[in-house]
Chains A and B, each alone.
Chain A
Amino acid sequence: MTETQSRLYLRPLHPLYGILLAFPIALFSTGLASDIAYLKTAEMQWSNFASWAIAGALVFSAPIVAWAALGLVWHRRPRAMLYFGLIAVMWIAGLINAFQHSHDAWSSVGTLGLLLSILTTVLALVASWIAFSLGRSREIVR
């Protein structure tokens, strides 16, 4: 009697993927810290730092979003879907936040900017957590 056994092999993430994931984690959280510093001091340079951090996070996370989308083509597992959803929402929220930060002076952060900075930081962390725990999983039929 033949038995088909489905097993999940966990291989670590591709090194480049892991490196790229570090950018949104580090830069969105830098943006959040800078936003808080700006709201406390009204010193424009903090808002400028946040602008660059958000822009950098968007540039380096764009390939991740594309990569995650391609991943969906291969395996439509619920966690991969969830991961893609989170990383995509993070990127779009980051883009809106970049526009928000292009406003001048006190309008560059505001409630919306702060909320988006919190949201993108949390999403970057959660999505990365899932990504690292998913690994490059393959379903292998034995």
Chain B
Amino acid sequence: MTAWFITPVALVLALTACGSAPDADQTGAVPTLPKQNETLLPPMKIAKPVGWGSTLPTVPAGFSITPVATDLKIPRQMLVLPNGDILVAEGTGGNESVLRPKDLIAGYIKSLGKSGTKGGNRITLLRDTNGDGRADVRTVFIDGLDAPYGLAFVDGSLYIANQGALLRFAYRDGETRITTPGVLVTLLPSRVNHHWTKSLAASADGTKLYVGIGSNSNITERGMEVEEDRARIWEIDRASGAHRVYATGLRNPTALAINPQTNALWAVSNERDELGARLVPDYLTSIRPGGFYGWPYSYWGQNVDPRVHPQNPTMVAKAIAPDYGLGSHVAALGVTFVTGAGLGNGYAQGVFVGEHGSWNRQDLAGYKVVWIPFAGGKPSGKPRDFVTGFINAQGQARGRPVGVLFDARTGALLVADDLSNTVWRIAPTATR
């Protein structure tokens, strides 16, 4: 009898949760922003993980794709050492507690779309000695880390951003394992760590390190106090370890990169959920020193988020609209500029962006690597799909891209896939 009553309720809820707006273009400098639509239940769709089997990701004609390594333990971001060895950060972080029933349920639902593998908390080294694109030497390069994510290499030192600390390791050319513990450069904000990934990039001159620190909530639902030092980018003096706040209001700056044309810092950042299936677009942007990018008070400039209380019109007025929309809920987790001739064939100036894929909309978005052409140091066109096939015909997930890295040494693109635990390498067929 209860079920008899609940069924119509569930039906009504399901109907209200459906996104019905016609699709709008949310990429580029001026993404279409529909009205906010807070439904009783947020639209959700999780792509069931199935793995690649015998298939490979799809790449454009003229390119081939090879698995550099498989069976990793949640690969996230990568780095190419001067000798061509590839380092892969593997791990899972976060130490947030359950504050309300929703945390239990949402955590369970999102876990359905992830790999069951436990994060490695380590760096794996991959070396391809015969040039076939596959690693024939593979070692655990550094073990015993705490959710490592961002990687940088400056002047003989390797920098690793754990979820709570930035560490430095001395590196000797050709090493395949480092056992001496890292030197603490600086502690990083780690309370709660709802968005735990600490992205990392070194300035062009190597004197500064930038660390992206995500917010501790979707939209301050864990209280304002835990957001004190979050949703920002730090600039760290490499020599002293001292830091200053470089930019704020970035909800989750998951990957940082230096633009080789302008030497400016760029970031991809993931925007807030539960304002609708088509809000808010994740973005790619140059980072203005001292800039405020809206979170939590507003998005894409002055669009006020009603969920923040008290509101702050002064900060809303200051909020900078990002440079380039990537689409709502695509979950951009990787960005890399190409240098030199890039990947050739029209991929000589621009960025690749790894889109991990959505959960907060009915139609899956992201689950691919896109190319965004640049001219004069700025985006100059629409994103083009570069690596696809992460979702199969049945809507299941074969993989989910995270970090992307242009390997200037061999003119190839590396893509970390944290669902199939693979690092992929895409290279022009002709240059083989």
Which A positions have Cβ atoms within 8 angstroms of B? 42-45, 47-48, 51-52, 55, 62, 65-66, 69-70, 72, 88, 91-92, 95-96, 98-108
Which B positions have Cβ atoms within 8 angstroms of A? 1-2, 5-6, 9, 13, 38, 40-41, 99-102, 105, 217-223, 274, 306-310
Once A48-B100, A52-B101, A105-B221 are accepted as A-B contacts, the answer to whether A66 and B2 lie under 8 Å apart by CB is yes
**29 A-B contacts, Cβ less than 8 Å apart?**
A43-B223, A44-B221, A44-B222, A44-B223, A51-B100, A65-B2, A65-B5, A69-B1, A72-B1, A92-B6, A95-B6, A95-B9, A96-B9, A96-B40, A99-B40, A102-B100, A102-B101, A102-B102, A103-B38, A104-B274, A104-B307, A105-B217, A105-B220, A105-B307, A105-B308, A105-B309, A106-B307, A107-B306, A108-B221
> In the bound complex, what is the Cα–Cα distance between A73 and B149 (angstroms)?
61
Q: Tell whether, in the assembled complex, residue B218 and residue A104 are in contact, meaning their CB atoms are under 8 Å apart.
A: yes
Chain B residues near A66 (CB-CB < 8 A): 1-2
Once A42-B309, A103-B274, A104-B218 are accepted as A-B contacts, the answer to whether A52 and B100 lie under 8 Å apart by CB is yes
Instruction: How many A-B residue pairs have C-beta atoms within 8 angstroms? Tell me.
Output: 76
Closest chain A CB from B184 CB (angstroms):
33
Q: Tell me whether chain B's interface is mostly helix, strand or loop, or mixed.
A: loop
Chain A residues near B223 (CB-CB < 8 A): 43-45
> In the bound complex, what is the Cα–Cα distance between A108 and B306 (angstroms)?
11
Chain B residues near A103 (CB-CB < 8 A): 38, 274, 307
> In the bound complex, what is the Cα–Cα distance between A140 and B274 (angstroms)?
57
Closest chain A CB from B284 CB (angstroms):
25
* CB closest chain-B residue, reference A49: B100
Closest chain B CB from A16 CB (angstroms):
18
> In the bound complex, what is the Cα–Cα distance between A96 and B40 (angstroms)?
8
Q: Tell whether, in the assembled complex, residue A106 and residue B306 are in contact, meaning their CB atoms are under 8 Å apart.
A: yes
> In the bound complex, what is the Cα–Cα distance between A43 and B224 (angstroms)?
9
Chain A residues near B99 (CB-CB < 8 A): 44, 48
> In the bound complex, what is the Cα–Cα distance between A99 and B100 (angstroms)?
12
Partner of B38, one of A45, A70, A92, A107: A107
* CB closest chain-A residue, reference B218: A104
* CB closest chain-B residue, reference A92: B9
* CB closest chain-B residue, reference A89: B5
| Additional A-B contacts beyond A99-B41, A101-B100 (16; CB < 8 A) | A43-B223, A44-B222, A45-B223, A65-B5, A66-B2, A69-B1, A72-B1, A95-B6, A99-B13, A102-B101, A102-B102, A103-B274, A104-B307, A105-B219, A105-B308, A106-B309
